Structure 1
């Protein structure tokens, strides 16, 4: 998950080891970011990325103005990882394809959008992912520009927004909602299905330290995608 070849990966691994070994007990405050910056001789952004990944795993909890603390261990947790669709397709040995359908910046309209935008604008994206030339997922996404301002400069014509966000804006909290749906006429047209065909829909929200980052809905043809969550009573919480 975290390449120890990179400096942020090394920082992550060393902090993780101190937590999982019990050297830092639940409730203990880990060094402040500026202290770690001095210790490792790196930028604040590098340290922040490592800590954000620890928070994403549930190993630490950030408290505004107080610092970052080791989380209490969880007995069991079933976690559905946030997938990178490009990586999922290529891991299967299939050719990945991506096409941007809609890109526009706009203001928030609904109550949920206003909460996500937090006073800023939204980037609305619609795209189609394919596998070996066959439609794999129709994606509709909103990105809060206050949380990911660099997204405004991205045209996303070549880079899938999900892949970009996983690298550019580490998340600390996520929520999934999975449901079976019937394809609407528009969805059916993009996915090469008949209207009303069975599909799997994954709705996801992510936050970074309480600030909403993105809302995305991904619709998959029902016979082309599996969701698997594997879990065990591991120390330190979910992996």
Structure 2
């Protein structure tokens, strides 16, 4: 099994302490020099882990003061990775999909290089529709080091998300969900007015610490919602 990069291990351990409440909102994260000594690594490795925590909204970094656990924000749990094709068909609607762009290329920044893990990226842009009405504009990067078979898949006929769920198992995933305004291109493709409210879902998946894919999906705000169904750990003790 491929070992996680050290910065991912530091990230995961700090994330666990924050989510468990061991590190409370407003509490200081150990200083970078303390973390470098604890893990026997460079300051750059620690900084990378803290930057990812800050990017997730778990940590705030203050110049000269250090890093602190962020105050919690209102959020909803979204636990599953959806297959848009299956969701549309289960609602009895006609699903359609168009591949707009397909490019194989090298990574262009640090985040892409981390996903690529020494290999190239397959960049896909596509449009999902339900009953001929645009549902989602998707921009996706697939790491060919983790999924070399993606190079030969005909993504003109099969949506990349459906293919990945069927053929490329994942062991870890991260969802970020928020509101954005439709830019000019998105508005044109989604058949809505520029500046209209949209739901944006950004997702990353890994398999045993190796990046598999990163995707950004933009949905018109009035055409899609996210629902998470979960139960209490004590549900079995409650009357039915």
TM-score (normalizing by structure 1): 0.65
CA RMSD of aligned residues (A): 1.4
Matches within 5 A, 1:205-220: 205-220=204-219
- Matches of 2:91 and 2:233 in 1, distance apart? 28
Partner of 1:156: 155
Matches within 5 A, 1:47-196: 78-196=77-195
- Matches of 2:143 and 2:233 in 1, distance apart? 34
Paired residues of 1:178 and 1:201 also in contact (CA < 8 A): yes
State the 1:108 CA deviation.
0.4
Which structure has more RCO (C-alpha within 8 Å, separation ≥ 6)? 1
Partner of 1:73: none
State the 1:79 CA deviation.
4.7
- Matches of 2:78 and 2:134 in 1, distance apart? 27
- Matches of 2:140 and 2:219 in 1, distance apart? 15
State the 1:202 CA deviation.
0.1
Paired residues of 2:203 and 2:215 also in contact (CA < 8 A): yes
In the alignment, structure 2 segments of 5+ residues that lack a partner are 1-76, 235-240
Paired residues of 1:138 and 1:219 also in contact (CA < 8 A): yes
Paired residues of 2:78 and 2:227 also in contact (CA < 8 A): no
Aligned to 1:142, the other structure's residue is in SS state strand
Paired residues of 1:79 and 1:231 also in contact (CA < 8 A): no
Deviations 1:196-239 (A, max 9, x none): 0100000000000000000000000000001011111359xxxx
Deviations 1:145-174 (A, max 9, x none): 011110011130000000000011110000
How many residue pairs are counted as aligned between the two chains? 159
- Matches of 1:159 and 1:180 in 2, distance apart? 28
- Matches of 1:110 and 1:165 in 2, distance apart? 24
Aligned to 1:97, the other structure's residue is in SS state strand
- Matches of 2:228 and 2:206 in 1, distance apart? 21
Q: Does 1:204 align with 2:215?
A: no
State the 1:117 CA deviation.
0.1
- Matches of 1:202 and 1:153 in 2, distance apart? 27
- Matches of 2:223 and 2:195 in 1, distance apart? 16
Partner of 1:4: none
Deviations 1:112-166 (A, max 9, x none): 1000000000000000000000000000000000111100111300000000000
Partner of 2:58: none
Partner of 1:232: 231
TM superposition outliers: structure 1 runs of 4+ over 4 Å: none
